[in-house]
Structure 1
Amino acid sequence: MTRPLELRIGVLPGDGIGPEVVPAAELVIDAALASRPDVKITWQRLAIGHEAISRYGTPMPEETLEVLDELDAWILGPHDSASYPDRWRTQLTPGGTIRKRFELFANIRPARAFPGTAAVSPKMDLIVVRENTEGFYADRNMYAGAGEFMPTPDVAMAVGVVTRRACERIAHEAFRLARTRRRRVTIAHKANVLSMTSGLFLETCLDVADRYPEVEVDHQHIDALAALLVRHADAFDVIVAENMFGDILSDLTGELAGSIGNAPSLNTSETKAMAQATHGAAPDIAGLGIANPTAVILSSAMLLRCLGARHEHSALGRTASRIEAAVETVIGQGVCTADLGGTASTAGFIDAVVAAMGS
């Protein structure tokens, strides 16, 4: 028998549809590991968002962060910061606070079309590797203060930050990942216009590429790449991008694959990992029981695979593959939620995935 492994994983349901879809991941993982006595997961439920505001007076309580310090990993639900009380709307979001505290620099976002979905690119199977700590986003480009400011009421400015260190480490993530796939990396950039910032990103990624001679590398201007993805998404394997470009491209590829509701995501540092679906809180359908839990389930499978690699416990990788295969089988059978054109409820879809794993 494989050596025993005990893990503590946090569950942060969040806002909107979060309390409906995040527990689905916990349920599916428990079902997948039910026959594995060598793996024990202890779940730790923690409050963020509206739940935390009502209990602690803040959407991201220090109590939650202190528990996260002690955990192996966690599953983060979506947050609806636009609906928070005024004093919190301009503050760092719960996800942003967690990302900064644990320096989750790599955001891994797969986009794969499942049989049975109305995908624009039915043969696509790619991964966007997004640098997660710098760029133009105002919540992640300053040590203190905001990266956006207005010197006059009619002028708004933004600071974009690119460092060689951050470019190097995200490039290594992309090339290591490509070695396990089809061995091709595409660098997304705009060095023809942003010659210093985007130019540094391109230059650094190409320097890192020299250390991976077995991986083919090319680079594309971000606007041309977006057009190529619409036409030939199946030609791409791993795309590495800075923060904002990666965010935009991963939403695009998620929709090209059938629905952003299927788009998983993993945020990692050298020691911590956080599963987080690409989609938002969707407050308009919260509580209706029709939300698509696919993205959170697949994000959690990515989390298991990551933990399996870090703990050298192959059972977690096999369990992740089993969960992914069950999701693909169920969607292929036409059991899916309304965003994919189906009639299944959230609970009905979860039950079907658990049943598929059992069969």
Structure 2
Amino acid sequence: MRMVVLPGDGIGPEITSATTRVLRAASEHFQLGVAIEEHPVGHESLKKFGTTVQPGLLETVRAADGLILGPTATFDFKNEQSGEINPSKYFRKNLDLFANVRPARTYPGLRNPLGDFDLVVVRENTEGFYADRNMEQGNGEVLVTPDVVISLRRITRLCCERIARSACQLAMRRKKHLTVVHKANVLKIGDGMFLDICRETARGFPGLEIDEILVDAMMAHVVRNPNRFDVIVSTNMFGDILSDLTAELSGSLGLGGSLNVGEGHAMAQAAHGSAPDIASQDVANPFSLVLSMALLLAWHGERTGAARFGEAASAIEGAVAEAIKTGRATRDVGGKLGTTATGEAVVEILTARG
């Protein structure tokens, strides 16, 4: 397996280094044959090449079996014409990574007042209100006058159909329960079409239970009783907000794995940002990117039929859970270790198991 790794900005290089150590250990332990190829993106690439994503990198990624993208300083990059490209948007759009899969679960040893839960948010990833990716040319935000801004939201049948199908397929592999989160009572045309397509798609999966909840009500329900939910599907912005919320409810946003998936490509990406305020201090939690990497291995295993990749992914997730349970983790999840030592603890647990 050929893996491209892009460390990113802020805490990105630190958590990416911890993640690649776990990946190398898993590759050796499970005989995965992973070859890692690392390239700069973000500010480092901008300094070296005059652009945050150097020419030819997209082709390199397309030729690989998977991509790991560390957090990047997205807010810093404002002008694509001067080379300030948002790397996350760039790869999501150019690889057509239409599904953002974000699991959230509780862990033994990490106190949670809401009780145990294990759910997955499946978020549409390529359109909606995201102004930098919902137009063929230009931007979806328009400054009409100095005091008036219009933001355009794109919803298409194709994108609704494929995210609905992906969510239904995942739900059938889990508890056969799908929750559709929408705002069709107000966004009658866009979310109305999304909701109708989810209903129609779900009818093609016998035994699948489906319920529908307005997005504002969903925020109340999920903080009251997250165990009520299993697979949740929503449009881009609603899913983005909801997936951060559910990750934090599990104990920390630093526990939120995230996989961006298309028909032929996938990108592992931490659910959080680059956190420049704590960069280079060896305090950042690497688990979000480690868990995202595990999701990528599992995806590759399913795609190729190589069971050992799924076994490695499960072992990595188990090693993270054990690290949290035994306090061998960063402070935000109850431990006392730094970023590097936390990664090493996962490696030790992983390789100690048969």
- Calculate the TM-score normalised by the size of structure 2: 0.96
- 2:54 maps to 61
Alignment of 1:1-359 (within 5 A): 7-37=1-31, 39-84=32-77, 92-359=85-352
Deviations 1:91-130 (A, max 9, x none): 5411101111111000000001111223343311100000
Which residue of structure 2 aligns with residue 4 of structure 1?
A: none
CA contact (8 A) 1:120 1:258 kept: no
CA contact 2:103–2:118 (8 Å) conserved in 1: yes
- What CA distance in whole angstroms lies between the structure 2 residues aligned with 1:89 and 1:253? 36
**Corresponding letter in the other structure for 2:9:** D
Number of aligned residue pairs? 352
CA contact (8 A) 2:52 2:83 kept: no
For residue 342 of structure 1, report the CA deviation from its aligned partner: 2.4
- Structure 1 residue matching 2:2: 3-state secondary structure: strand
The change in CA–CA distance for 1:91 and 1:139 in structure 2 (over 3 A counts) is farther
Q: For residues 64-84 of structure 1, give each alpha carbon's deviation from its aligned partner in whole angstroms, at most 9, with x where no partner exists.
A: 222112111110011113345
Conserved 8 A contact 1:60-1:94:
yes
Q: What secondary structure, in the 3-state scheme, does the structure 2 residue paired with 1:342 have? A: coil
Ranges of 4+ aligned residues in structure 1 off by more than 2 Å: 81-92, 118-122
Query: 1:168–1:204: 8 Å Cα contact kept in structure 2?
Result: yes
**For 2:83 and 2:193, how far apart are their aligned partners in 1?**
31
Q: Summarize deviations over 1:262-303 as a string: whole Å, max 9, x none.
A: 101000111001000100000001000111000000000000
Distance verdict in 2 for CA 1:288–1:88, change over 3 Å: farther
Distance 1:89 1:16 in 2: 21
Q: Once the two structures are superposed, what CA deviation does each residue of 1:22-75 show, in whole Å capped at 9, x if it has no partner?
A: 1222211211231334x2111110111011011100111123222112111110
AA of the residue aligned to 1:75: I
Residues in 2 aligned to 1:107 and 1:197: alpha-carbon distance in whole angstroms: 20
**SS of residue paired to 2:187:** coil
Give the fraction of aligned pairs with identical amino acids, expressed as a percent.
45
Q: How far is 1:346 from its partner?
A: 0.8
- Where 1:321 maps in the other structure, the secondary structure is helix
For the structure 1 residues 246 and 120, does the alpha-carbon distance in structure 2 shift closer, same or farther, using more than 3 Å as the test?
farther
Report deviation, 1:334. 1.6
Name the CA shift for 1:243/1:67 in 2 (closer, same or farther; >3 Å).
same
Cα pair distance change 1:54/1:85, threshold 3 Å: farther
Aligned-partner Cα distance in 2 for 1:293–1:326: 13
Q: What one-letter code is carried by the residue in structure 2 that aligns with 1:18?
A: G
Say which is worse superposed, 307-316 or 25-34, in terms of deviation. 25-34
Label 1:351 to 1:343 Cα distance change in 2 as closer, same or farther (>3 A).
Answer: same
Asked if the contact 1:12–1:48 (Cα under 8 Å) also holds between the matched residues in 2, the reply is yes
Query: For each residue in 1:182-238, what CA deviation from the matched residue of structure 2 results, as whole angstroms up to 9, or x when unmatched?
Result: 110000000001100011100000000100121100100000011000001011000
- Give the match for residue 3 of structure 1: none
When the two chains are superposed, the root-mean-square deviation of aligned CA atoms in Å is 1.5
Give, in whole Å, the separation in 1 of the partners of 2:61 and 2:116: 38
Provide structure 2 residue ranges, at least 5 long, that are not aligned to the other structure.
none
- Give the distance between the partners of 1:129 and 1:251, measured in 2 at CA: 12
Matched AA of 1:8: R
On the 8 A contact 1:266/1:303 being kept in 2, the answer is yes
Taking structure 1 as the reference length, the TM-score comes to 0.95
Amino acid at match of 1:250: S
Secondary structure in structure 2 of the residue aligned to 1:170: helix
Q: 1:209 and 1:80, CA in 2 relative to 1: closer, same or farther beyond 3 A?
A: same
SS of structure 2 residue aligned to 1:247: helix
Aligned letter for 1:323? I
CA–CA separation in structure 1 for the residues paired with 2:298 and 2:74:
30
SS at match of 2:33: strand
